[in-house]
Chains A and B, each alone.
Chain A
């Protein structure tokens, strides 16, 4: 277990370095001079020269990368934004809770819906419920997130005015100038984003849970449990679901890890100041350090969640041993 973790962490480091390297390349493949970008729209020659020196652009590329890595690892700093000179660490840490609120809440929502629907339609294949679930899955997978978001926003938020159209409220201690705050406002503003974000995953998970449960129902050990005289609820709980949901746990961990890096569409539609919107904004303004920052953070999320899933898996599935 311990050795496995060490090995896994070493690999994570390698992966992390590789991703930062690729990200760093953006500086050089993008058809723009970073120093000029750093100086803004009316760049004077002097500013550009200063910026080149400050950013180390007059040095050879490997040295620049080494300096970037050094700053990242030792100072744990992602640098400063080109556009507003803000500290990138702080910007990302401000945006991360927004994305986390959206993703975790969305994940709870999609599991709350997908679990019962998936299980029930596996137990009653071809029933009305199963067919309705299939239609739902088809819609959920086919409809673009953007379309769902905009329609919900228009119908529920604007025409019916049941929920806010957009915006975000902090869960705890809102900023002084904020117009709203606290758990109730937070949830109220997130209802539509949660639904929008969860719908696609919900559809995918309904399909996956249904297939897994159906497969498991046909397993020999389920027949063994029935042959022992176990009542059906016990068969389901202890023998079917326990096995059928193992792969779902893996998928859930990985999906959350990926989504924590930013749910671009949902955040953009509902004006949530999360990592996805941050990434889009920094792309639009060629804010290279900020792009780098978001990519590095997303990578970290994915790596951490993958390790968490692997370790969790060893606890819930005795066949997996981490060594």
Chain B
């Protein structure tokens, strides 16, 4: 299958009063047509900024970006504003974390979807409205023809996220970037929204970049996973491999912090400390102040993202020797006894 999105050494720096914040600092990944990439990480690890950079939605005034983001071979970082506008909402669509605030409160939801259609399709308003209603039906809004005339505040959170998805998919984009689309929703609604995205992906062959801090979501929906820590990639692998043999101490920490029904423990494992400031990240490996396996080299040198000796698809950035990694991965998985997809 053809490569849809290829991100190479992406760097996004924000100029602030306190100095330069390196929000994304050398991120690379590829995504094939119709596949799903999960980007996992804590708040502030650079997941969202990575995607906003690809979309060209960072503030022009404070952000500078380097590297390449090739969408079907076209570098989005070099594209003109005009070209980016043509791509946004047409080839690449985005849905956001908080459906309560992502829809404009003073416009009817039907009109908000129609706006997105008319920006990219040369159709009549009537036809656009028909398509908008179809899209609403498709995402499971009951009585869509009437609800199209309602305002966002007349919808629940889950329904609003469905509206956002309808709005994003109405022009049948080949890539959907979903920035924590389920975080603000309750658990049952989360499952419904994920299922909806999954089935729409099947029907339309849309590739998805799913930003999340929830490894459960990743296990459910992703084909490949990128684990981000402090603006860099800690580990990148096909989803099965990541859950079978995680190779980075940060990933072990993340897996250890998942709640499990069958485990008889009082307290979840937590990663000690807090993520570093991106204004002045630690020398060497960014995870070193919190890493239980830290040794001298980690404090001096920045580890590069390299392939594991046993698997060229599995990349990680850690200086630990392979034997220790295998042993610790097994230990983590032994305590992590749930079914792995």
The reply to whether B88 and A221 contact each other, CB–CB distance below 8 Å, is: no
What is the CA–CA distance of A227 and B94 in the complex, to the nearest angstrom?
6
Q: Is A242 an interface residue (CB 8 A)?
A: yes
Bitwise, A232-261 to B at CB < 8 A (1) or not (0) is 000000110011001000000000000000
The reply to whether B167 and A228 contact each other, CB–CB distance below 8 Å, is: yes
The reply to whether A221 and B151 contact each other, CB–CB distance below 8 Å, is: no
The reply to whether B115 and A223 contact each other, CB–CB distance below 8 Å, is: no
Picked from B106, B108, B119, the residue with its CB within 8 Å of the CB of A228 is B119
Q: Is B271 an interface residue (CB 8 A)?
A: no
The reply to whether A227 and B87 contact each other, CB–CB distance below 8 Å, is: no
Given contacts A220-B98, A223-B57, A319-B153, contact A229 B106 (CB under 8 A): no
The reply to whether B96 and A228 contact each other, CB–CB distance below 8 Å, is: no
Closest chain A CB from B35 CB (angstroms): 21
A residues within 8 A CB of B116?
228-229
Q: Is A185 an interface residue (CB 8 A)?
A: no
Given contacts A220-B96, A223-B57, contact A229 B105 (CB under 8 A): no
What is the CA–CA distance of A36 and B201 in the complex, to the nearest angstrom?
90
Closest chain A CB from B182 CB (angstroms): 16
Picked from B90, B103, B120, the residue with its CB within 8 Å of the CB of A224 is B103
Within 8 A of A (CB), among B88-120: 88-90, 93-94, 96, 98, 101-108, 115-116, 119-120
Q: Is A226 an interface residue (CB 8 A)?
A: yes
Q: Is B85 an interface residue (CB 8 A)?
A: yes
The reply to whether B103 and A227 contact each other, CB–CB distance below 8 Å, is: no
Interface residues of chain A: helix, strand, loop or mixed (majority): helix
Within 8 A of B (CB), among A260-317: 316-317
The reply to whether B96 and A229 contact each other, CB–CB distance below 8 Å, is: no
What is the CA–CA distance of A108 and B98 in the complex, to the nearest angstrom?
39
What is the CA–CA distance of A230 and B167 in the complex, to the nearest angstrom?
13
Bitwise, A22-51 to B at CB < 8 A (1) or not (0) is 000000000000000000000000000000
Q: Is A318 an interface residue (CB 8 A)?
A: yes
The reply to whether B107 and A238 contact each other, CB–CB distance below 8 Å, is: yes
Chain A's closest residue to B82 (CB) is A231
Picked from B89, B103, B119, the residue with its CB within 8 Å of the CB of A221 is B103
Chain B's closest residue to A227 (CB) is B94
What is the CA–CA distance of A238 and B98 in the complex, to the nearest angstrom?
21
What is the CA–CA distance of A231 and B89 in the complex, to the nearest angstrom?
12
B residues within 8 A CB of A316?
106
The reply to whether B115 and A230 contact each other, CB–CB distance below 8 Å, is: yes
B residues within 8 A CB of A317?
105-106
Closest chain A CB from B180 CB (angstroms): 12
Closest chain B CB from A43 CB (angstroms): 63
> 8 extra interchain contacts, Cβ-Cβ under 8 A, other than A221-B102, A225-B115, A317-B106?
A221-B105, A224-B96, A227-B89, A229-B85, A229-B89, A239-B104, A242-B107, A246-B106
Residues of chain A touching chain B, judged by Cβ–Cβ distance below 8 Å, are: 219-221, 223-231, 238-239, 242-243, 246, 316-319
| 10 A–B contacts from the bound complex (CB under 8 Å) | A220-B102, A221-B102, A228-B167, A229-B88, A229-B90, A230-B119, A238-B107, A238-B115, A318-B153, A319-B106
